[in-house]
């Protein structure tokens, strides 16, 4: 497949980052709390060099950003991550990773505009940071799936227990994902696409 990627100082144009044969492009948001692996997932699965807005964490975040369980983290996303993956010759996913700190959540409205769905990344070491994320998605009516990022040494819980803790409806896909593994990340995105397809083809409930 022939891709045209521009290194123009003005930034990539739509025709530069979209394969010539593409029939449809879909916006997908990668969302989750602080430090759950969103930047890693986008960078792992993207077929182009990802755009990141990571900055070194400074003393300004002390007492503001909760580093419990992720004490070694030294960088953080301050705007968004961007990547792209082709599912096939007819479908390309644009991936937008959101910032995790609550003080940057005001950016989410713009990032969610036009999004077809979302992948919520979950860190079992810090489950509580994902509760409000799920609530925000439900309030916005954005369809989502939940991927449990398998951090080394993180607690392992049975999926039914995690579903109950997150208060997830039975139909919302919940599964494991390794944000460092491209196949695992691709499968997570495919799970979202299958879920969106099922929602689009679901028969309306009788009145």
- Let me know if residue 147 belongs to a domain: yes
Residues 76 and 99: their CA atoms lie apart, in Å, by 8
76 falls within a domain: yes
- Could you tell me the pLDDT band of residue 153, with boundaries at 50, 70 and 90? confident
How many CA atoms lie within 13 Å of 14's alpha carbon, on the beta-carbon side? Answer: 4
Does residue 143 form part of some domain? yes
Q: What is the pLDDT of residues 34-85, one digit of tens each?
A: 889 999 999 999 999 888 765 444 444 444 445 454 445 445 444 578 999 9
| Average pLDDT, rounded, for the chain | 78
Q: Is residue 180 part of a domain?
A: yes
What is the per-residue pLDDT for 9?
Answer: 36
pTM: 0.75
What is the arrangement of strands in the sheet containing 144-149, beginning at the earlier edge strand?
81-88, 91-97, 24-32, 117-122, 144-149, 174-177
pLDDT in tens, 99-143: 856 655 556 666 788 899 999 999 998 888 888 889 989 988 999
Q: Is residue 97 part of a domain?
A: yes
Residue 101's CATH number: 3.40.50.300
The domain total for the chain is 1
- Name the more confident of 192 and 16: 192
Token pair of 206, please? 């009788």
Residue 109 falls within a domain, yes or no? yes
Q: What are the tens digits of pLDDT across the range 94-111?
A: 999 988 566 555 566 667
pLDDT at 89: 80
Name the residue range of residue 70's domain: 24-200
2 lies in some domain: no
DSSP state of 13: -
Is residue 9 a part of any domain in this protein?
Answer: no
How do residues 168-201 score in pLDDT, each as one tens digit? 999 999 999 999 999 999 999 999 999 999 999 8
Q: What is the mean pLDDT of residues 144-159?
A: 93
Average pLDDT over residues 138-155: 93
- Which of 28 and 75 is assigned the larger pLDDT? 28
User: With bands split at pLDDT 50, 70 and 90, how would you rate the model's confidence at 10?
Assistant: very low
- Torsion, Cα 101 103 109 111, to 10 degrees, reads -40
Q: Give the per-residue pLDDT at 21.
A: 53
């Amino acid at each position: 497949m022939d891709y045209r990627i521009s290194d123009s100082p003005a930034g990539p144009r739509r025709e530069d980052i979209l394969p010539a044969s593409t029939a449809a492009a879909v916006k997908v948001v990668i969302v989750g709390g602080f430090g759950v692996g969103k930047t890693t997932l986008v960078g792992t699965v993207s077929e182009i060099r990802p755009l990141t807005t990571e900055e070194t964490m400074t003393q300004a975040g002390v007492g503001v950003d909760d580093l419990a369980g992720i004490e070694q983290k030294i960088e953080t996303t301050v705007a968004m991550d961007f990547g792209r993956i082709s599912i096939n010759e007819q479908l390309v996913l644009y991936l937008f990773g959101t910032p995790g700190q609550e003080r940057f959540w005001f950016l989410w409205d713009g990032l969610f505009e036009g999004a077809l769905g979302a992948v919520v990344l979950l860190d079992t070491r810090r489950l509580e940071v994902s509760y409000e994320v799920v609530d925000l998605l439900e309030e916005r009516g954005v369809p989502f799936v939940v991927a449990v990022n398998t951090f080394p040494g993180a607690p392992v819980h049975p999926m039914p227990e995690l579903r109950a803790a997150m208060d997830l409806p039975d139909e919302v896909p919940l599964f494991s994902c390794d944000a460092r593994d491209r196949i695992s990340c691709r499968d997570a995105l495919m799970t979202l696409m299958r879920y969106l397809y099922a929602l689009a083809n679901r028969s309306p409930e009788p009145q």
